[in-house]
Amino acid sequence: AQSVTQLGSHVSVSEGALVLLRCNYSSSVPPYLFWYVQYPNQGLQLLLKYTSAATLVKGINGFEAEFKKSETSFHLTKPSAHMSDAAEYFCAVSGSGANNLFFGTGTRLTVIP
Amino acid sequence: DSGVTQTPKHLITATGQRVTLRCSPRSGDLSVYWYQQSLDQGLQFLIQYYNGEERAKGNILERFSAQQFPDLHSELNLSSLELGDSALYFCASSSRDGDRETQYFGPGTRLLVL
């Protein structure tokens, strides 16, 4: 079975500070991991994905995530937060067979000017 | 813009009614997934279709059904609506990436049941 846990439903950072959003996964098969972002009143936008080609994955808008098998983690980071990063971020893992996504509960990022 | 379109954007209806949500996948994508996003349940997978055939079922209620047509658009039918069905319904289509898929989401349909 696949699942993800996102630690921290709300994270606040100052503009220009490091962003760290945590995601731990559980998977009975080699995981296929994703980060999606949801801006207010919008749909889900793919930020980045882990496909086993490289453990450090770079995504859009300056975000990146590192796959650590030993820690079963796939944390999302950005060196310097921008006001436009304020949104809800979802970590997801794909299931086996049907490839449907299992989502975490989301982390709402607030950026303080 | 993901290339996935959903209509309508908003829907307000009453308990006991039936509604149909529509989704058009990205050009060339054969798979369509439906998800429900609610405050208490979060984002949950409902059902997947691939090239017109049902491929997988998640936490979809018996009052809900879906289909995918020959032109690959999909419809999600929700009947005997209850207050708790109020949610954001997303459709996603997918492209294959090696042995796995990447899903691209539409803007969603916000359903309010009064």
Contacts of B43 in chain A (CB under 8 A): 90, 101, 103, 106
Check CB contact under 8 Å for A42 and B101.
Answer: no
CA distance B11 to B76: 13
Check CB contact under 8 Å for B45 and A101.
Answer: yes
Distance from CA of B112 to the nearest CA of A (A): 14
User: B78-107 in b/e burial notation, b at 16+ Cβ within 10 A?
Assistant: beebeeebbbbbbbbbbeeeeebbbbbbbb
Distance from CA of A16 to the nearest CA of B (A): 27
User: A47-71 in b/e burial notation, b at 16+ Cβ within 10 A?
Assistant: bbbbbeeeeebebeeebbbebeeee
- Residue pLDDT, tens place only, A58-94: 999 999 999 999 999 999 999 999 999 999 999 999 8
**Residue B2, pLDDT score:** 85
Mean of pLDDT values over B30-45: 93
Check CB contact under 8 Å for B105 and A44.
Answer: yes
Where residue B110 falls among pLDDT bands split at 50, 70, 90? Answer: very high
Check CB contact under 8 Å for A99 and B45.
Answer: no
Which residue on chain B is closest to A37 by alpha carbon? B105
**Residue A96, pLDDT score:** 60
Where residue B83 falls among pLDDT bands split at 50, 70, 90? Answer: very high
Check CB contact under 8 Å for B33 and A106.
Answer: no
Where residue A95 falls among pLDDT bands split at 50, 70, 90? Answer: low
